[in-house]
Amino acid sequence: MKTNFKELRISTTKRRELIDITDEVCATVKESGIEEGICVVYSMHSTSAIIINEPERGLMEDILTKIDDDFPRERDWLHNRIDDNADSHLAGAFLGPSLVIPVKNRSPCLGTWQSVFFLELDGPRSGRRVIIEVLGV
């Protein structure tokens, strides 16, 4: 089995923001030389998430609006007593820090309308760390 490990550093400019990392995922799979296996995309932060969806401007805004609706910042969350970002942790916990994408023919198996996003939930931040690891043969 072969592996290829890459760490991305991402800077964000808004509190909540979707950053398209599809090109980096595809490049990491391609340079790995791995024909068939899996690709893990993993964020090393508890106030972020990794998601796959369509890179359409309106939909990307809708996703952020849905997160605001489901995890309201102004509610009296207990974590806000020590750190004013409970809503960001909650969204991160329920959306999850990672995804696994199948790899075939040196490409991630992404559909026509699927892109991979880093989802910032408590920005702006510099130096967000996202790991892309490809494993296979």
Shortest spacing between CB 79 and Zn ion, in angstroms: 6
Phi and psi at residue 33, to the nearest 5°? 75, 5
The verdict on 84 binding Zn ion (CB under 5 A) reads no
The verdict on 85 binding Zn ion (CB under 5 A) reads yes
How many chain residues bind Zn ion (CB under 5 A)?
Answer: 2
Contact 96, 50 (CB under 8 A): yes
In angstroms, rounded to a whole number, what is the distance separating the alpha carbons of residues 107 and 25? 9
Contact 42, 50 (CB under 8 A): yes
Select 32 or 85, whichever has its Cβ closest to Zn ion: 85
3-state SS, one letter per residue, for 84-117: CCHHHHHHHHHHCCEEEEEEECCEECCCCCCEEE
Contact 121, 48 (CB under 8 A): yes
Shortest spacing between CB 82 and Zn ion, in angstroms: 7
| Cβ-proximal residue to Zn ion, closest one | 83
Select 17 or 122, whichever has its Cβ closest to Zn ion: 122
The verdict on 48 binding Zn ion (CB under 5 A) reads no
Select 17 or 87, whichever has its Cβ closest to Zn ion: 87
Interface characters, 64-83, with Zn ion (x: CB under 5 A): -------------------x
The binding site for Zn ion (CB under 5 A) comprises 83, 85
